[in-house]
Structure 1
Amino acid sequence: MKKTKLLSILTTVVLTVSLLAGCGSKTGDSTSSKESSGKAVKITFLNSKGEIATQLEDAAKAFTKENPNITVDVVQAAAGESPFQKVSSMYASGNAPSLSMLDPNDMGKFSDKFLDLSSEKWVKDASTGSLDAAKTDGKVMGFPLSIEGYGLIYNKAVLDKVSVDPASIKTTKDLEAAFQKIQAAGVAPIVLSPMDWSLGAHFLPMVYTDQSKDAGSADKFTADIKAGKVDLASNALFNGIMTTFDVLKANNIDKASPLAGTYEKAPEYLGTGKAAFWFMGNWAWPQIKEFDQANGQYGFIPVPVSNNADDYGNSQIYAGPAKFIGVDSKNNDADQQAAAKKFLEWMVYSDAGQDFLVNKSSLVPAFSNIKLEITDPLGKSVKQYVENKKAIAPMTTLPGDHWAQLGGSMQKYLDGKSDKAALASDIQNYWKNVK
């Protein structure tokens, strides 16, 4: 998720912590995180999730108390900086980080540079499906940092005032009826944020992922678009989703100037009850919490895709690992690799590591052994959808420029500068030119 664009963290955070390093004199997948040479070792960790930079610093301090002999320099990717480009540049300079935090669709691009982590202890405790995007030729090439989900966030206190039960919204017509009741009460029904990453990486891919619940159906659908086998303008799901988008657009708090909306303003609208819904993900809770007047009463409903409640997509939100961490095998020696693996294991199995993930960072862990209660209401909602098997995994094979290119097309549609036919043409032309 491109949430680094939202943050103004422009500095490099250097954290010094220590742990017992594994022994070994040559690089390779055979390094065990349990082995120890006892000598001082330095590793680096590229963090591309800026919203947990402070929490990571605190975690490092806790980590050093338990593991005294390794220095970890945490390098913060700048706001708006692509983690793929950052890591690529570090490899080009021969100074790749020991640990690289990347978006799921970037993991396969470094499969020849990362260690195979298949034999690590945490693999057996990873939640079902959480490792899929990090596998290459059956090997686990990355550590899932957390599960993130997105859909329509609701402020329950607002809905209660207008007697709208979020569980009753199962179709586009249901959503429109709820919006009418909310509007009649003098409240804006929804905040529809105009950022290209939100529209291009989160909303639009529903057209691909919701075509079928069959594995690989999203990739097949986009391949068919590329091959000219799909007339998107006549595709039922595309039209259904865009009909819902039209409802969101017509009820947007910023509809008078739809591209003027900002991410920073949206949590205030939702948290103070000026708006009832916001299309966004659980990563936004720290910002919503700052304005919360609903005593933590928030949750998710799916984005309706049709007027048939039984259609796939009408009862699911989108949830899956948002970031993976890979361990370098090229520029770091065996001791550094062992130290990097130790840090990953610490997050999953130590009390302080679990506290960092769940309590301090408000993350939904991707490991079944972590039993800490999630207090964040959006995290709770995501976890419930996942446990009830009502979650659709976000597409992890989108090209790197998809959210920018087609997010821009979605912005034009939102702003009334194009129509549905033009949008469909933009999408088809984009995929036909993907190499």
Structure 2
Amino acid sequence: MKFKKLIYGFLSVVVVISLIVGLINWNVNVLATSKNSKKVKITFLSTKGEINSQLQEVFKNFSKDYPNITVELIPVGAGQSPFEKLSTMYASGNAPTLAMIDPSDVIKFKNNFLNLSNEKWVKDAIKGTLDDVTFDGKVFGFPFAIEGYGLIYNKQVIEKAIGKFEPKTIRTRNDLENLFKKLQQKNVTPIVISPLDWSLGAHYLGIAYGAQSRDYKMNKRFIDDLKAKKVDLKKNKVFNDLLDTFDMLRKYNYLKNSPLAGTYEQGAQLLAQGKVAFWFMGNWAWPLITQINPNNKSYGFIPVPITNNPNDFFNNAIVATPSKILCIDIKNNSKQQQEAAKTLLNWFVYNSNGQKNWVYNLNIISPFRNVKITPNDPLAKSIVEYMKAEKTFRPPFALLPSDHWPIVGAYMQKYLAGKMNRQQLLTEIMKYWAKVK
């Protein structure tokens, strides 16, 4: 009997102790929850206007997973550069928590950005995607999207005019022109060139900087030599070859009679409605293309052929590179806001719901190895195919000054319109680089 009492007494003590420990743990958890439940609002500067409405939905979905974090979208106005917008916001002491900027702008603001080197996703980034945001061994930006560009084709239009079309057969400038001639004979306008300074100055000429060598470091050296006046672009084979291709493209341009009259929206409309077979543009145009004609999914990319050598790597490769970078501000945002911003980035990379929102809702090609899903749109799928075949290259966009595309793009517009000849164009580009510090 005494033994039973001892057992019951012991068990009672154990129960009491367990209740006390449980109560302590409950209080700790309550305190922790209370501490973590403090609501925080972060701001997100978006420089991809074509996905702003989708971003709003993504942020709402994020807040469902993290109810205490609210994300406010701040769009960059039409015609305003990311650099200009962010500079203005810093000048007013109202910088966004997260800034979506071009790779070339990261170094200019890096003293205002959080060092992200210890984040888990750094090790999961695809090789090369952090090169333009790493300085002195420190990572200052999150690669938000891999985007690619080249000549977008409307396969439905081409095949209706001339029969089966195999994109891989276009391996030279002559191949492309022969196709253009066949299309023209069937009353199909081959191509539209949208006369946008960013498209001509950054994207088209970006090929010339990126195709100097397959070694990215050599292309960086080429930029340094341009600044040091060591390069004569009039004698540079890649620049001249690419301009030869440009001359050919503008011969078949839908806007040949008014080359500067086109708009971005018009280019998407012409391609989607089948009024042209090709458009020089990137995969960011997909939301607009499919909005205009949701029934046609037969689009893809071919490279801009630079030479008439079918074995030229750059004739068979497209540009694919991190195009937008997310950086976290440390000047005007609190530690709590910075942590909330990091939570959003990790949600994109490691949360299955976040991955789906990022990839499917925004049509983003993720720069991270662990994200196995890819966008459903045909332009993104085309880029992924080139990536898998290792037929992509990266122009040194991070080394292009912020005013490169408006200034040099304006020169390209004059060239497109026939108001400037090639010698004048190349002279002006060299003068531009000679002034860059």
Same fold at TM > 0.5: yes
User: Which residue identity lines up with residue 91 of structure 1 in the other structure?
Assistant: Y
1:410 aligned to which of 409, 412, 415: 412
Residues 1:340 and 2:341 are matched in the alignment = yes
The separation in 2 between residues aligned to 1:229 and 1:253, in whole angstroms, is 38
Aligned to 2:98: 99
Aligned to 1:420: 422
Residues 1:130 and 2:132 are matched in the alignment = no
Cα displacement (A) at 1:117: 1.0
Cα displacement (A) at 1:294: 6.7
The separation in 2 between residues aligned to 1:365 and 1:316, in whole angstroms, is 19
The separation in 2 between residues aligned to 1:81 and 1:312, in whole angstroms, is 35
Aligned to 2:365: 364
* Cα separation, partners in 2 of 1:293 and 1:110, compared to 1, 3 Å: closer
The separation in 2 between residues aligned to 1:391 and 1:299, in whole angstroms, is 15
CA contact (8 A) 1:189 1:277 kept: yes
Q: Secondary structure at the match of 1:313?
A: helix
CA contact (8 A) 2:153 2:300 kept: yes
Aligned to 2:3: none
The separation in 2 between residues aligned to 1:84 and 1:321, in whole angstroms, is 17
User: Which residue identity lines up with residue 105 of structure 1 in the other structure?
Assistant: S
Cα displacement (A) at 1:37: 3.6
Alignment of 1:270-349 (within 5 A): 270-292=271-293, 295-349=296-350
Residues 1:73 and 2:111 are matched in the alignment = no
The separation in 2 between residues aligned to 1:97 and 1:39, in whole angstroms, is 20
CA contact (8 A) 2:290 2:296 kept: no
CA contact (8 A) 1:157 1:294 kept: no
CA contact (8 A) 1:70 1:339 kept: yes
Residues 1:239 and 2:212 are matched in the alignment = no
User: Which residue identity lines up with residue 259 of structure 1 in the other structure?
Assistant: L
* Cα separation, partners in 2 of 1:253 and 1:293, compared to 1, 3 Å: farther
Q: Secondary structure at the match of 2:74?
A: strand
Q: Which moved more, 1:375-384 or 1:218-227?
A: 218-227
Cα displacement (A) at 1:130: 1.4
Q: Secondary structure at the match of 1:374?
A: coil
The separation in 2 between residues aligned to 1:340 and 1:294, in whole angstroms, is 38
Unaligned runs of 5+ in 1: 1-35
* Cα separation, partners in 2 of 1:260 and 1:123, compared to 1, 3 Å: same
The separation in 2 between residues aligned to 1:400 and 1:373, in whole angstroms, is 31
Bigger Rg, structure 1 or 2: 2
Aligned to 2:26: none
Q: Secondary structure at the match of 1:129?
A: coil
Cα displacement (A) at 1:184: 0.7
Q: Report Cα offsets for 1:74-98 as digits up to 9, x if no partner.
A: 2222222222222222222322221
Q: Which moved more, 1:172-181 or 1:154-163?
A: 154-163
The separation in 1 between residues aligned to 2:56 and 2:294, in whole angstroms, is 30
Q: Which moved more, 1:190-199 or 1:82-91?
A: 82-91
The separation in 2 between residues aligned to 1:282 and 1:108, in whole angstroms, is 26
The separation in 2 between residues aligned to 1:260 and 1:89, in whole angstroms, is 30
The separation in 2 between residues aligned to 1:190 and 1:297, in whole angstroms, is 16
CA contact (8 A) 2:193 2:250 kept: yes
Aligned to 1:248: 249
Q: Secondary structure at the match of 1:233?
A: helix
CA contact (8 A) 2:366 2:374 kept: no
User: Which residue identity lines up with residue 364 of structure 2 in the other structure?
Assistant: L
CA contact (8 A) 2:365 2:374 kept: no
The separation in 2 between residues aligned to 1:188 and 1:434, in whole angstroms, is 40
The separation in 1 between residues aligned to 2:67 and 2:270, in whole angstroms, is 46
The separation in 2 between residues aligned to 1:61 and 1:231, in whole angstroms, is 52
Aligned to 2:435: 433
Aligned to 2:25: none
The separation in 2 between residues aligned to 1:93 and 1:266, in whole angstroms, is 37
Q: Secondary structure at the match of 2:260?
A: helix
User: Which residue identity lines up with residue 427 of structure 1 in the other structure?
Assistant: I
Count of residue pairs the alignment pairs up: 402
CA contact (8 A) 2:210 2:216 kept: no
Q: Secondary structure at the match of 1:189?
A: strand
Cα displacement (A) at 1:59: 1.3
The separation in 1 between residues aligned to 2:270 and 2:244, in whole angstroms, is 24
The separation in 2 between residues aligned to 1:244 and 1:428, in whole angstroms, is 20
User: Which residue identity lines up with residue 411 of structure 2 in the other structure?
Assistant: S
User: Which residue identity lines up with residue 121 of structure 2 in the other structure?
Assistant: W
Aligned to 1:382: 383
The separation in 1 between residues aligned to 2:77 and 2:269, in whole angstroms, is 25
Aligned to 2:21: none
The separation in 1 between residues aligned to 2:123 and 2:234, in whole angstroms, is 44
User: Which residue identity lines up with residue 424 of structure 1 in the other structure?
Assistant: L
The separation in 1 between residues aligned to 2:295 and 2:341, in whole angstroms, is 41
The separation in 1 between residues aligned to 2:404 and 2:84, in whole angstroms, is 15
Aligned to 1:228: 229
Cα displacement (A) at 1:68: 2.0
* Cα separation, partners in 2 of 1:293 and 1:102, compared to 1, 3 Å: closer
The separation in 2 between residues aligned to 1:294 and 1:313, in whole angstroms, is 32
Q: Secondary structure at the match of 1:342?
A: helix
Q: Secondary structure at the match of 2:111?
A: coil
CA contact (8 A) 1:152 1:277 kept: yes
CA contact (8 A) 2:301 2:382 kept: yes
Q: Secondary structure at the match of 1:111?
A: helix
Cα displacement (A) at 1:325: 0.6
Cα displacement (A) at 1:110: 1.6
Unaligned runs of 5+ in 2: 1-34
The separation in 2 between residues aligned to 1:71 and 1:231, in whole angstroms, is 52
The separation in 2 between residues aligned to 1:63 and 1:237, in whole angstroms, is 46
Aligned to 1:6: none
Q: Secondary structure at the match of 2:214?
A: coil
CA contact (8 A) 1:273 1:293 kept: no
Q: Secondary structure at the match of 2:93?
A: coil
1:401 aligned to which of 403, 409, 412: 403
User: Which residue identity lines up with residue 250 of structure 1 in the other structure?
Assistant: K
Cα displacement (A) at 1:373: 4.1
Cα displacement (A) at 1:64: 1.6
User: Which residue identity lines up with residue 211 of structure 1 in the other structure?
Assistant: Q
